[in-house]
Structure 1
Amino acid sequence: MDDIEDPSGPSRQELAQREQEEKERKAKEDAEQASLPYKWTQTIGDADVTVQVPATIKGRDLDVVLTKTKIKVGLKGQPPIIEGDFPHPIRADDSTWTLETTRTGKEVSIHLDKVNKMEWWPHIVTTAPKIDITKITPENSSLGDLDGETRAMVEKMMYDQRQKEMGKPTSDEQKKADLLKKFQEEHPEMDFSNAKIG
């Protein structure tokens, strides 16, 4: 007897194909990011960039420029290692860079404070290959680093996003439905059969 596929959902073959495409996309993305002359990570509120430089370099040999919309990092008199526009603005006054000694030499460590604390960046400079920000799992960012109000907002957004994906009501829609139910229970004499919520 043949396996009967569920007509409403994707077949095993489609799922396997999607999984394979996802693996290939991730491998391509990883290769693109690995080929960049810098490494970068981010949380929802900031981004950090590290650039390897020769061990003999001193701070005065560096040419580092951070503005609200642009970054430039390089050695004086040489083409920049990284230069370009940010995908979104930063708070230049709250962003910093340091030259640090590592086991393998030295690196320039740049901390970028995002203006919008609710936005993932697809790349550090707009000319670089993008990462798929829809694949970022919020667990990668430390929600614990956020202040209470921001954290609550991010958690609500994450919850609402998951609910939408499952076709369930968002927290606001659930709240409205709960309020209406409570009101109906308190006022059984009223007829809500034609009530429209929204």
Structure 2
Amino acid sequence: MSAEPENPSPAELAARERDEQDRKAREAAEQAQLPYKWTQTIRDVDLTAPIPANIKGRDMEVVLTKTKIRVAIKGQEAIIEGDFPHPVVGDESSWTLETTPTPPGKEVNIHLDKVNKMEWWPHVVTTAPKIDVSKITPENSSLGDLDGETRAMVEKMMYDQRQKETGGMTSDEQKKMDLLKKFQADHPEMDFSNAKMG
């Protein structure tokens, strides 16, 4: 049972909204300081990092293992180096060097295929600042990538989360209520006035 009130006051809602905006701003500032940008889906992680236009693939030092990453221009400090928070599929992970039109230059692109396709990453390497994975809302389009049973479970979790946020009933609570109503309809002779849902 949650300690939060069922119907928060407008002041409480405003305070929560301010806290959430502050958290997002802090998180965005931390992520902006990284020498790379990264995105993820439930299945994979993609990184990009700008590098000088004169750099060629042979000038790069890229090491991708199941648990570690190192990306550097040979002889220079690493752009990213460290342990992954969760393992990747080494054979399915890759990197490319591409030319960028604006600003003119190049970037290294790294694709990491997650071993566990049901887990959000808080960061790419364990030494980097974390993001709040509980605030990630998966895109509906990517739900189609999941198998039927997994997709149903994710949709149920998303529904229950939305219901909790609005003070409504989760799908399990709704099922109990529907069963109780059906039982009441089937047994009108019974008194349910003091019945409590637990």
Match of 2:37 in 1: 39
User: 1: distance between equivalents of 2:133 and 2:62?
Assistant: 27
Q: CA RMSD in A?
A: 3.0
What residue number does 1:144 align with?
144
Taking structure 1 as the reference length, the TM-score comes to 0.77
Q: Deviations over 1:127-176 (max 9, x none)?
A: 11111112212237722333444333322221233344455554455556
The answer on 1:125 being equivalent to 2:125 is: yes
CA distance change for structure 1 residues 38 and 176 in 2, over 3 Å: closer, same or farther?
A: same
Contact 2:89–2:113 (CA under 8 A) maintained in structure 1: yes
Contact kept in structure 1, 2:6 and 2:167, CA below 8 Å: no
Q: How does 1:15-34 map to 2 (within 5 A)?
A: 15-34=13-32
Task: Mark the CA change 1:35 to 1:154 in structure 2 (over 3 Å): closer, same or farther.
Answer: same
Q: Distance in 1 between matches of 2:63 and 2:155?
A: 34
SS state at 1:22 partner: helix
2:18 and 2:105 map into 1 onto residues whose CA distance is: 38
What does residue 9 of structure 1 align with? 8
Gaps of 5+ in 2: none
Provide the C-alpha distance between the structure 1 equivalents of 2:21 and 2:177, rounded to a whole number of angstroms. Answer: 41
Gap change, CA 1:7 and 1:75, over 3 Å in 2 = closer
The one-letter amino acid of 1:60's match is: R
Identity of aligned residues (%): 73
Matched to 1:9, the amino acid is P
State the aligned residue count: 189
Q: Which residue does 1:67 correspond to in 2? A: 65
Q: For residue 53 of structure 1, what is the aligned residue in structure 2?
A: 51
User: What displacement does 1:24 show?
Assistant: 2.1
Find the aligned partners of 1:21 and 1:179 in 2 and give their Cα distance.
39
